[in-house]
Amino acid sequence: MNILLLGSGGREHTFAWKIAQSPLCSKLFIAPGNAGTDSLGINTDLNVLDFKSIASFSVKESIDMILVGPEAPLVEGIADYFSNDTNLNHIQIVGPNAKAAQLEGSKAFSKVFMEKYNIPTAAYQEFNASQSAEGKAYIDQSNTPIVLKADGLAAGKGVLILEDKEEAKKELDNMLNGKFGDAGSTVVIEAFLDGIEFSVFVLTNGKDYVILPEAKDYKRIGEGDTGLNTGGMGAVSPVPFVDEKLMDKVKTRIIEPTIEGLVKDDIHYEGFIFFGLIKVGEDPMVIEYNCRMGDPETEVVIPRLKNDLVELFKAMKDNTLAKQNIEFDNRSAATIMLVSGGYPEAYAKGKPMHGLNIKTESILFHAGTKKSGNDIVTNGGRVLAITSLAESKESALQQSKSIAEEISFEGKYFRTDIGFDL
Ligand code: AMP
Ligand code: GLY
């Protein structure tokens, strides 16, 4: 099978690493990929939003399957583009169509969906530009902190948590007036949930599903979960507090009603569903859905998966997903992300990296890297995810930390306290 993987981060290097191990994969292309994916397949210079070029490339290279890493092409309708064209619809797209991707693409859509199917989530209301006064009245009658969310995709920056009502009102107007562009033309205002976050992932063909190992990521830039939000600074899997009892609640109160709700609403969902959850007291609630795998969660979840990932994708299409027995490594996986100095604000690119040939059992998943002559240089905010597997979370973290110290580039920064709260 010829497979095209779209994206260029640590998530995509992890997928490439896993897919390259599958006997079902004959040729793997990664577009655009990074310096890490380069050794596992053929990096191809395609823009993930340029569906026309992706389509002609796919025909030319006899692609059978496209795995879509990031959310933007899904929300923009790449699956529909392929399924609506008789010359392309033989190609399996792993990732939902535009309607189904609204679970991530529109916070308002996902809140309406959760309310309709009684899926536990924070109380909320949505407001558009003509409802600023109503929004402010809603803030006045809400408890603090107050959570404001831009409805659309805002590259992970569209959520504000505010302690002060006056500031919340000001930010509501800023958002409605374009602070996050069109993404904020509708704003969801919701109650703050106090608890501990974790993530659960399923792969579904819209009817059957399999549950992958859970994970917890660390989004803040600073030690002790302080400072600005990032794409993710590290992750662990399994998550010690996610026991069988909690997972049963996740399954019956969240996963099953989600899949059943999609079927009832006639929304055909094929791909990963990422449930961003929070444990409040003893109960799980949904913070958000994503229509793709997480990054850096993928870097700990996929190395624990023993199944052939391509076989699972194929089973989605063949309607045999329900028969698949998911097996995972019982060891703990931990990943630590090396980032560029200044990230998530302005940072430099093009810094030569040293120590990547280090002899280690840890896996180095490239995120923002590229080749430059004989060098590998930094090419993004998040640069490298160092994943280790060990009998305990502590020893996996220790292994990743010691590699994080060995690898160097100018401005390197990483968090030393991933998993600190578990
Ligand atoms: P989201 O983009 O919806 O995942 O939100 C980004 C982050 O904001 C989440 O990972 C949470 O840490 C936080 N967050 C979002 N909504 C809430 C909420 N209702 N209560 C508490 N924290 C929240
Ligand atoms: N790490 C969070 C995400 O991928 O959205």
pLDDT number for residue 168: 92
Q: Do the Cβ atoms of 314 and 22 come closer than 8 Å?
A: no
The residue written with tokens 């989605």 in the block is 316
Expressed in angstroms and rounded, the spacing between residue 87 Cα and the centre of ligand 2 is 34
Alpha-carbon distance of 219 to 328, in angstroms, equals 25
pLDDT number for residue 179: 86
Q: Are strands 2-7 and 27-32 parallel, antiparallel or unpaired?
A: parallel
Expressed in angstroms and rounded, the spacing between residue 38 Cα and the centre of ligand 1 is 35
List, in order of start, the domains of the chain with CATH numbers.
2-76 (3.40.50.20), 123-191 (3.30.1490.20), 196-406 (3.30.470.20)
pLDDT number for residue 154: 82
Pocket test for ligand 1, best of 163, 180, 288 (most atoms within 8 A of CB): 288
Question: Which residue has the CA at smallest separation from atom 1 of ligand 1?
Answer: 288
Question: Which residue has the CA at smallest separation from atom 19 of ligand 1?
Answer: 192
Alpha-carbon distance of 56 to 150, in angstroms, equals 35
Regarding the beta carbon of 217 and ligand 2, being less than 6 Å apart is answered: yes
Regarding the beta carbon of 158 and ligand 2, being less than 6 Å apart is answered: no
Which residues are near ligand 1 (CB < 6 Å)? Answer: 122, 147, 149, 159, 190, 192-193, 197, 219, 276, 287-288
With a cut of 70, list the residues of the chain below it in pLDDT: none
pLDDT number for residue 243: 97
pLDDT number for residue 375: 95
CA angle 124, 217, 378 (to 5 degrees): 120
Alpha-carbon distance of 36 to 47, in angstroms, equals 18
The residue written with tokens 């505010």 in the block is 162
Question: Which residue has the CA at smallest separation from atom 4 of ligand 2?
Answer: 294
Alpha-carbon distance of 223 to 351, in angstroms, equals 24
Atom nearest to 193 CA in ligand 1: 20
Expressed in angstroms and rounded, the spacing between residue 30 Cα and the centre of ligand 1 is 31
Alpha-carbon distance of 332 to 287, in angstroms, equals 25
Expressed in angstroms and rounded, the spacing between residue 90 Cα and the centre of ligand 1 is 38
- Assign residue 5 a region: left if phi > 0, alpha if psi is -120 to 50, beta otherwise? beta
Convert the pLDDT of each residue in 277-320 to its tens digit: 999 999 999 999 999 999 999 999 999 999 999 999 999 999 99
The alpha-carbon radius of gyration of the chain (Å, integer) is: 21
Question: Which residue has the CA at smallest separation from atom 16 of ligand 1?
Answer: 287
Angstrom CA distances, 338 to 226, 297, 399, stand at 17, 15, 14
Ligand at shortest distance from the CA of 233: 2
pLDDT number for residue 178: 81
Pocket test for ligand 2, best of 149, 297, 336 (most atoms within 8 A of CB): 297
Question: Which residue has the CA at smallest separation from atom 5 of ligand 2?
Answer: 294
Atom nearest to 293 CA in ligand 2: 4
Alpha-carbon distance of 68 to 11, in angstroms, equals 11
